[in-house]
Amino acid sequence: MVKSFLHSFRRDDSGAALTEGLLVFPIMLLVLAITVEFSAALMQWSKLVKASQIAGRLASVSSPLTDISALEITPAGRVMGDAMSDAAISVACGHGTGTACDAAALARLHQGSDATCGTVTNGMIGVCDVAGFVPAANIRVTYSNGGLGYVGRAAGPVAIVTVSIHDIPFNFFMLDRVFALVGGSQSALTLPSFPVTFVGEDLSSCEGCT
């Protein structure tokens, strides 16, 4: 009887589909989770790149966010108009520089000309209109003298404007909770910075222009 029972047990395929399903389900769930997290990361990456481009463009046509008078000084041994000589002259403000940017100018760069985030009513859009997860404090603006312009130019040297956004953590749907469970932090995974450079134009926000 025992031999007959074991033979029947080996040939019985009842519940095989359920067993296979239980084996495959975790794999499918893992693939789905990876797809969702990757899509979220890619979306944040894309928004940060676009926000950097917008910030760079807006900074190139806005009043300087910090004092750039140092760009007008030609140190001994440097030749005005020589790009290789003047490129080392730069000033910066914002994240990681130790110099705060002008608050009003930074707010315009961050929020756009309508001074609101998330909605664009008129004028130029800002960083937070595209990437609402970017704080103004994480923006860095650098002005450098690239040797453009000419000696005695009334508006001063033509500045090269570089804007970059730093230390923005990825915002994951599920991994953040996993990191929390194991005592980690999402801040260890940050979006790379995408410096954007423009040749400065009038460098004037033109407030009060008539």
- Digits of tens for pLDDT over the chain (210 positions)? 656 655 665 565 666 666 777 788 888 888 888 888 888 889 999 999 999 999 999 998 888 999 888 877 655 445 555 544 544 588 999 999 999 999 999 999 999 888 788 777 677 888 999 998 999 999 999 998 877 776 566 666 688 999 999 999 888 777 766 666 666 655 567 889 999 999 888 777 765 544
From 53, 141, 164, 159, select the one nearest 94 (Cα to Cα): 141
Res 86: pLDDT? 45
Looking only at the bridges linking them, the beta strands covering 139-148 and 158-165 are antiparallel
What's the confidence (pLDDT) of residue 87?
Answer: 47
Identify whether the C-beta of residue 166 lies closer than 8 Å to the C-beta of residue 186. no
pLDDT value, residue 96: 92
How high is the pLDDT of residue 40?
Answer: 87
Beta bridge partners of 163: 141, 196
Q: Tokens in use for 72? A: 């007008």
Take residue 136 and report the two structure tokens written for it: 């103004």
The full DSSP string for 57-85 is HHHHTS--SS--GGGG---TT--TT-HHH
Distance separating alpha carbons of residues 84 and 159, to the nearest angstrom = 14
Structure tokens at 23: 């084996």
Q: What is the pLDDT of residue 208?
A: 52
pLDDT value, residue 77: 47
The pLDDT assigned to 19 comes to 74
Between CA 92 and CA 71 the distance in angstroms is 11
> In this predicted model, what pLDDT tens digit does every residue of 107-117 receive, in sequence order?
999 998 887 88
